[in-house]
Amino acid sequence: MSDKKVSRPCHHCKSRSASVPSDTSKIHYEKFWLYRHCSSVQQRDRQAQKAGQLFSGLLAMNVVFLGSAFISSMIFNKVAITLADVWILLSILKVLCLFWIIYYLMGTSRQPHAVLYRDSHAGAIWVRGSVLLFGSCSILLNVFQIGYSTVLVHCKSKVEIVFPIIGILFICTQAYFLWHHSKDCIQVQHNFTRCGLMVTIATNLLLWLLAVTNDTLHMEIESQLREVEQRFAGNETTLCTCPNTTICKVFQKGYILLYPFNTEYCLVCCSVLYVMWKNVGRRISHHHILNTKPKFKLQGVVFGPLLGTSAVIIGACVFMMYQIQATSLDPSRQVLVIYYSYYIVLLPLMSVGAVIGTIIHALEKKELDTLKNPTRSLDVVLLMGAALGQIGMSYFSIVALVATDPSDLLNSLALSYSVLLIFQNITQNVFVIDGLHRRHVVAAAEAKHAGHSGQDTVAAEMPGEEETTLSGKQEHSQTPPGKEEDTKEEQNREAYSQRRVSVLELGQEIRKASLSYIHTYSHLSWKRRVLREISFFLVLCNIILWVMPTFGAHPLFENGMERSFYGYSTWFVIVNFGLPLGVFYRMHSVGGLLEVYVTA
Amino acid sequence: MSDKKVSRPCHHCKSRSASVPSDTSKIHYEKFWLYRHCSSVQQRDRQAQKAGQLFSGLLAMNVVFLGSAFISSMIFNKVAITLADVWILLSILKVLCLFWIIYYLMGTSRQPHAVLYRDSHAGAIWVRGSVLLFGSCSILLNVFQIGYSTVLVHCKSKVEIVFPIIGILFICTQAYFLWHHSKDCIQVQHNFTRCGLMVTIATNLLLWLLAVTNDTLHMEIESQLREVEQRFAGNETTLCTCPNTTICKVFQKGYILLYPFNTEYCLVCCSVLYVMWKNVGRRISHHHILNTKPKFKLQGVVFGPLLGTSAVIIGACVFMMYQIQATSLDPSRQVLVIYYSYYIVLLPLMSVGAVIGTIIHALEKKELDTLKNPTRSLDVVLLMGAALGQIGMSYFSIVALVATDPSDLLNSLALSYSVLLIFQNITQNVFVIDGLHRRHVVAAAEAKHAGHSGQDTVAAEMPGEEETTLSGKQEHSQTPPGKEEDTKEEQNREAYSQRRVSVLELGQEIRKASLSYIHTYSHLSWKRRVLREISFFLVLCNIILWVMPTFGAHPLFENGMERSFYGYSTWFVIVNFGLPLGVFYRMHSVGGLLEVYVTA
């Protein structure tokens, strides 16, 4: 790309030492040959940013299309393009990404003034934690794959040992990179970094696509053992079956069990990398940096955890019953009835919780946070996008069930399951999206507090009005704390402000006292408590709803109703694209709900 | 939806007469029960707008999913869900849309202060023209369908005459609505209007989806006559074949010929309706309204039209040869070679033109227009999105051709065709997107001019510096005209400014003279002329590349190479989604390029 040259590091800046980020001389404004004649530096910078995003996006689009064509060719024409060809392409991409990541770690990020700002919203601990968790699972998966290939080395090509090794290297480096640099707003080599990030995103997307289409194997093993044997016979592994040794069976079983984590890992990495891509060249105002994240505290919630834990325990029992029955090749109707009944009880509870939460959000006099925040925008898009998978599947299921025989018990159960699932997804999305846009009370109080520190004496002498006007001047989008409570609790506040006046002479201690009071106080508000109960309950529910399909409960596939309606291959395609998205949706909801819980 | 009540018309405003739009008392700020406690009216308004968009979007999503599930069921399970069921669903949706459109025309838009602002960018004449054109073709299509069903009334159900009648009503009303109201920024009944628009968009999308999947019929008639007969035999028209009368053949042929226009009509309507949806509740500043559209003038271009016309003529010949050969059931290799050769000559020319155009854009010292403009944002998204169809198909084709036998003449031709197509699409997109963001010179001059009208005497007395400072103050994002030319033409400008000083005493005439001079001058600039030549050439090329696949030249399907590689059904799905998008891309490019031509 011709723009790489323009974005090379500014060498004359190297001599300077890194100090305050607000120094404008350290900002590398972006340039682009297309936009040399803009009147202002800011405008040129913005346009260059857009152009850089366009070009790197085009690069990624081409890579993704090429890879998809490869993968589709492999699926539909097993002779001309084999799995090995796809692996070679992906390995080349992985090696390219590895080189770029290493260059980023060694070169780009160590340049002077490379990372002046860090996006506090990006790379939340739960996201980075899941990168590590899923990353380790994926590494284990690759280890099992190596072991499996080694056992069967007599009939498998040695290349099948090389690919997983490259995979392990890629996963480790990427996880390290994301753990340490996911918050970076890189200010040098903009376009090169964008291209690198986009190629990495494309690689992860292709790995996901391959995993989804290859998940075929796993699901078929579970549901249609006979057909698999036929397919295997037609495949390259004609005479290559696992000998009856324990180690080979362990490798095989571990491989099947760990497979879903690999798909999740790719999706999570994509979302983190995308936020990094959006943050390239972003300059964050001081206002943003101030807004620190609150910590997770398990305080003042009782019913949510109780209800949620019971849902998890019952769900685990149902899941185990289902798994024992489902693996016995001929799943009985009874276990499906139990499975659906569990969902039909749980889903309305979750929906009601989400609706109540949304209503409380509306009742609460909390300000909305309308600042720019790429992480949140992405969260919203991902929530809506991932929900589409589940909702789409449900609609397909509804049409099939209504068209066949809705009066049958199992059909009517499956029907209500699908309808409730749509309703639950939508209500939960509205609740989470709305919650993510509410400002955190304590953070707002702390921000106000920080604003005061310069005017200690003035603030101490005029406690009432001064507080509101000052904070109003400094940060117009924040609420004075007086607005946070409703009229019913007015007296409580008066007592608080009187007590504040009485401790006027304590000087430095006053701030600590008021802060701890706000803390205690906020725990007293019934609205906040209900919000926390609801979000905690939903977190636990989403965890169990995430675990069940991840580890192999796919009633939509195993009940056979939709399968016989749409035909095997069509329904297979629908489920194979809907299910991984549904699983990702649950995982992503957990993150969003945790954020709602913490900021409530 | 619970928010309908909130957004009901403000009745106490009815007594007032409509006057200047800047009167804030006439603005209906949006409200939403979720966001009652925002500190400022503006913030609440913005949040209510977002919430309204979210809810109406969710509504549309549900409708689209339900409809897609219906259509898929029809395709994969012809017994349970028939085409008639799908038509009933679509007719219900159409009737709902009809009611809403009539309510909008009679009720909403006639309320006081309902349409305070009109988006000058929305509903460009070429868009509305294509709505009318494609709308009339779709009406004709429905007429043919009625005729066809009437001829075969003995074996077809009478419902098949009712559906097209509803279709005609829907198309007429929608075309009238879009012709007159596509520029509206409606300020009352926000959420109800949003929902109505979204349901209409969903209906059009479903009609498109049905048309695309039903296009099967048409394409199979062209390419695999025998198989069609078998399918017809298996379908409801078992004994229902066209008798050998001329009128029946005419109806059938007209139906096949007009089919593609129907799909285009749906897509164009969707894009216009989407812009209207984005414009609901939008308040446009005076600055925006000022920016009038320049008129289309065929002046000062010679080579573009010449080259383009010859490309069109040659293309028409190639197309006719192709069609005559292709309909003879056994298309020879020769005609495919001619077809591919034509593309291989034309596409590099177009790419080179687009690249040169982009470079000239970069050389030109023109300001960028960074104002908010939903129409342009949509244009960019649609250009990129529609190109994906073509690019995706090309990549699939490339992989198939490389994997089979790239040394064969026809294969290598098809290969270069695909590669060149990707390159052409990308370069053209960059050129058009970049061009759409450049400010129109004459418009800028006129805007400046309008800014002057208040300070007539001052401006007349101090012609040189005053002009720049005044316009700089009033509209900081506009360029003074002195910046538009490069150093080589400096002398010319000096002569111009000297001449202006000498005519100082002419007062009123000076503005006219200078304006006409800018006009003449702009025609002299070689850069603008080259830009116009290129965009005119590209317009004509895109028209011929649009006509050829629209009227049935589908070499990607008829050459049989990719079809045998991926298998019939897979390749059919790929082509059936890629081709209509590719056709839409060409049509949309013509619009974008015309805009670039006009503003150059």
Read off the pLDDT band of A519 (50, 70, 90).
low
A37 to chain B: which residues are within 8 Å by CB?
Answer: 364-367, 483
How many helical (H) and strand (E) elements, i.e. helices and strands, does chain B have? Answer: 21, 2
Q: Does A66 contact chain B (CB < 8 Å)? A: yes
Of A34, A39, A567, the CB nearest to B76: A567
* Contact between chains at B77 and A388 (C-beta distance less than 8 A): no
Of B38, B46, B399, the CB nearest to A73: B399
B68 to chain A: which residues are within 8 Å by CB?
Answer: 392, 395
What is d(CA B305, CA A450) in angstroms, rounded to the nearest whole number? 66
B434 to chain A: which residues are within 8 Å by CB?
Answer: 34
Nearest CA in chain A to B358: A34
End-to-end CA distance of chain B: 47
Q: Beta strand pairing status for B184-186 and B115-118?
A: antiparallel
| Cβ atoms B119, B279 nearer than 8 A | yes
What is d(CA B75, CA A563) in angstroms, rounded to the nearest whole number? 14
Nearest to B345 by CA among B380, B310, B389: B310
B56 to chain A: which residues are within 8 Å by CB?
Answer: none
- Is the model more confident about B302 or about A444? B302
Q: Does A516 contact chain B (CB < 8 Å)? A: no
What is d(CA A40, CA A30) in angstroms, rounded to the nearest whole number? 12
What is d(CA A81, CA A68) in angstroms, rounded to the nearest whole number? 12
Flag the least confident range among A43-47, A122-126, A326-330: A326-330
Q: List Cβ neighbours of A211 (8 Å cut-off, separation of 6 or more).
A: A259, A262, A263, A266
Beta strands in B336-424 (DSSP E): none
Residue B368: phi and psi, rounded to 5, are -95, 145
* Contact between chains at B34 and A367 (C-beta distance less than 8 A): no
Nearest CA in chain A to B478: A39
Q: List Cβ neighbours of B466 (8 Å cut-off, separation of 6 or more).
A: B458, B459
B35 to chain A: which residues are within 8 Å by CB?
Answer: 362, 368
Say if residue A122's pLDDT is above 50: yes
| Cβ atoms A124, A174 nearer than 8 A | no
Give the gap in angstroms from C-alpha B569 to the nearest C-alpha of chain A.
Answer: 10
| Cβ atoms A303, A531 nearer than 8 A | no
B437 to chain A: which residues are within 8 Å by CB?
Answer: 47
- Is the model more confident about B334 or about B422? B422
Q: Which residue has the tokens 């040794």?
A: A245
Q: In Å, how far are A56, A59, B24 from A90, measured between CA atoms?
A: 19, 16, 59
What is d(CA B338, CA B344) in angstroms, rounded to the nearest whole number? 10
pLDDT at residue A179, rounded to an integer = 92
pLDDT at residue B455, rounded to an integer = 39
pLDDT at residue A196, rounded to an integer = 94
| Cβ atoms B586, B427 nearer than 8 A | no
Q: Does B36 contact chain A (CB < 8 Å)? A: yes
| Cβ atoms B64, A397 nearer than 8 A | no
**Chain A to chain B Cβ contacts (< 8 Å):** 146
Read off the pLDDT band of B42 (50, 70, 90).
confident
Task: Report the alpha-carbon angle A392-A394-A397, nearest 5.
Answer: 110
* Contact between chains at A370 and B36 (C-beta distance less than 8 A): no
A362 to chain B: which residues are within 8 Å by CB?
Answer: 33-36
Q: Does A214 contact chain B (CB < 8 Å)? A: no
Contacts with A, B 297-336, CB within 8 Å: none
Give the gap in angstroms from C-alpha B399 to the nearest C-alpha of chain A.
Answer: 6
Read off the pLDDT band of A438 (50, 70, 90).
confident
3-state secondary structure of B365: coil
Nearest to B151 by CA among B67, B241, B16: B241
3-state secondary structure of B328: coil
Q: Does A43 contact chain B (CB < 8 Å)? A: yes
A486 to chain B: which residues are within 8 Å by CB?
Answer: none
What is d(CA B234, CA B237) in angstroms, rounded to the nearest whole number? 8
- Is the model more confident about B363 or about A424? A424
* Contact between chains at B399 and A69 (C-beta distance less than 8 A): yes
| Cβ atoms B593, B308 nearer than 8 A | no
Q: Does A480 contact chain B (CB < 8 Å)? A: no
Quick one: tokens of B305?
């039209």
A62 to chain B: which residues are within 8 Å by CB?
Answer: 391, 395, 422
What is d(CA B421, CA B400) in angstroms, rounded to the nearest whole number? 16
Q: Which residue has the tokens 């549904």?
A: A582
Nearest CA in chain A to B362: A34
What is d(CA A121, CA A182) in angstroms, rounded to the nearest whole number? 10
* Contact between chains at A367 and B39 (C-beta distance less than 8 A): yes
Read off the pLDDT band of A554 (50, 70, 90).
confident
A46 to chain B: which residues are within 8 Å by CB?
Answer: 370
Residue A209: phi and psi, rounded to 5, are -60, -45
For testing the chain B interface, which of A49, A395, A570 should be mutated: the one with the most B CBs within 10 Å? A395
| Cβ atoms B212, B580 nearer than 8 A | yes
pLDDT in tens, B145-167: 888 888 877 777 777 788 889 99
Q: Return the CA Rg of chain B.
A: 27
Q: List Cβ neighbours of A292 (8 Å cut-off, separation of 6 or more).
A: A120, A443, A446
Q: Does B39 contact chain A (CB < 8 Å)? A: yes
Q: Does A230 contact chain B (CB < 8 Å)? A: no
Say if residue B481's pLDDT is above 60: no
How large is the ipTM?
0.71
Looking at the DSSP assignment, which residues form a beta bridge with residue A586? Answer: none
Q: H or E segment at A184?
A: strand A184-186
Looking at the DSSP assignment, which residues form a beta bridge with residue B186? Answer: B115
- Is the model more confident about B270 or about B41? B270
What is d(CA A32, CA A52) in angstroms, rounded to the nearest whole number? 8
Nearest to A509 by CA among A445, A442, A456, A454: A456
Type of residue numbered B29: Y
Longest dimension (CA), chain A: 87
What is d(CA A444, CA A481) in angstroms, rounded to the nearest whole number? 8
Contacts with B, A 339-398, CB within 8 Å: 358, 361-362, 364-368, 370, 388, 391-392, 395-396, 398
3-state secondary structure of B368: strand
What is d(CA A85, CA A79) in angstroms, rounded to the nearest whole number? 11
B65 to chain A: which residues are within 8 Å by CB?
Answer: 391-392, 395
| Cβ atoms B222, B552 nearer than 8 A | yes
End-to-end CA distance of chain A: 47
What is d(CA A168, CA A176) in angstroms, rounded to the nearest whole number? 12
Type of residue numbered B515: L
Chain-centroid distance, C-alpha B243: 40
Give the gap in angstroms from C-alpha A47 to the nearest C-alpha of chain B.
Answer: 9
pLDDT in tens, A45-63: 777 888 888 899 999 999 9
What is d(CA B389, CA A141) in angstroms, rounded to the nearest whole number? 35
pLDDT in tens, A217-272: 555 454 444 444 444 545 444 456 666 677 877 877 777 777 778 888 898 899 88
